[in-house]
A and B are shown apart, each in its own frame.
Chain A
């Protein structure tokens, strides 16, 4: 009799334990995956007197191969400076077709150049996100950077409407193209909900393989852009 009670109790406790662990795990993941949204609806923003400009978008999925091919430089480094945010087109002096958004320059000191034609000791990464005395501009898909953070970044020259002649790069796939470095062995993606990791030891070889297999990627992209422009004109006008 006692034995049966013990078995029933044990089974229940096991189920309850699994449930509690699952619940905690689920909510930990949730907190992590909701991080960006939580940033937008955080108390700081809800209670601010500042004007909040929010952006939510839909990102194209980019595989590691695509990110390598799109990149002009791929670097491991650490964030040494976060500059003051600036408007991209104040008073629309650059015309109505250039967005006026808050951007922030992140200075990253290069520790290990994985790919690219640069001898600089640091690069500037410009992100479409920022804050000034009156406005907070949030972009759900743009990752945050923190001082001294160790990062692996896939970067390219800006090809957007807000580009300038200044010497800076942008992320090739927004938060998909920023990885944080937890230790010296493996890279864990900042994109923590799918636990992507990048093995640094073999990344160099994969970069060489991809770039060698697709030597004319950027030129082919130009041709593809022409085809896209023609097709999209049928859907959205010239």
Chain B
């Protein structure tokens, strides 16, 4: 009986160790594309001068969402200056957010970054492809969800393959998403 108790105890301990190792590995929840993230912090994202108040607010809220998700402090702010540049991408030291007309077969939005290696982002330009319908209606792509995803890229995150995460690589019309648990884990790994 004593022997059985001892074996059970050992097995219980081993199971606990195994679970401790395996449980936190949620391979499909997030990916990190640039392990050093954005440098230097804080990042500022500058919207186009032609954006509506609603779009600027969406940009602000997207930054706020990432700041709230990061345990070590703020990461990114909406730049109160605006850009009149429509060229994309433009290497000018400004993280600009512009609208582009790229047609039906391109992404809803894209983030471009250039670097000498792929560990740190120094500048990233975000383009919103306005060939697709934006807005808050069920027949449109939610501006804030799109911007939150793209700012996630600016901060060094890759695409996620878990639909509940905002870094999920696909978006459906009418879908509204904030930061998911995998997104939060990833951002706190980088920063």
Contact = CB atoms under 8 A, between A and B. Distances in A.
A200 interface: no
B115 interface: yes
Interface in A1-52: 1, 4-5, 8-9, 12, 15-16, 19, 22-23, 26-27, 29-30, 33-34, 36-37, 40-41, 45-49, 51-52
Contacts of B149: 58
A160 B104 CA distance: 8
Nearest to A12: B11
Given A29-B27, A59-B169, A52 B116 contact: yes
B131 interface: yes
5 contacts: A36-B158, A46-B119, A57-B110, A58-B150, A156-B104
Q: List the 3 shortest-distance A-B pairs measured between CB atoms, nearest first.
A: A237-B50, A30-B27, A57-B107
A51 B134 contact: no
Given A5-B7, A158-B105, A225 B119 contact: no
Interface in A133-186: 140-141, 156, 158-161, 163, 170-174, 176
Given A26-B27, A45-B118, 19 more contacts: A9-B7, A12-B14, A16-B15, A34-B158, A41-B32, A41-B119, A41-B158, A49-B116, A51-B115, A53-B114, A54-B115, A58-B110, A61-B171, A96-B87, A156-B105, A170-B105, A193-B161, A228-B131, A236-B48
B18 A19 contact: yes
Contacts of B171: 58-61
B135 interface: yes
Contacts of B172: 60-61
A227 B131 CA distance: 10
Interface stretch (B37-45, B62-70, B71-79, B94-102): B94-102
Interface in A208-238: 221, 225, 227-229, 231-232, 234-238
B109 interface: yes
A208 B169 CA distance: 30
A40 B3 contact: no
Contacts of B52: 234-237
Interface residues of A, number: 68
Nearest to B109: A58
B158 A140 contact: yes
Given A54-B113, A193-B161, A235-B134, A27 B104 contact: no
Interface residues of B, number: 72
B188 to A, nearest CB: 18
Contacts of B141: 60
A203 interface: no
B147 to A, nearest CB: 10
Contacts of B61: none
A4 B149 CA distance: 54
Contacts of A30: 27-28
A36 B118 CA distance: 13
Contacts of A48: 117
Contacts of A235: 51-52, 54-55, 134-135, 143
Contacts of B132: 60, 228
Interface string B131-150: 11111000011010010011
Select the residue from A22, A33, A227 with max chain B CB neighbours within 10 A: A33
A196 interface: no
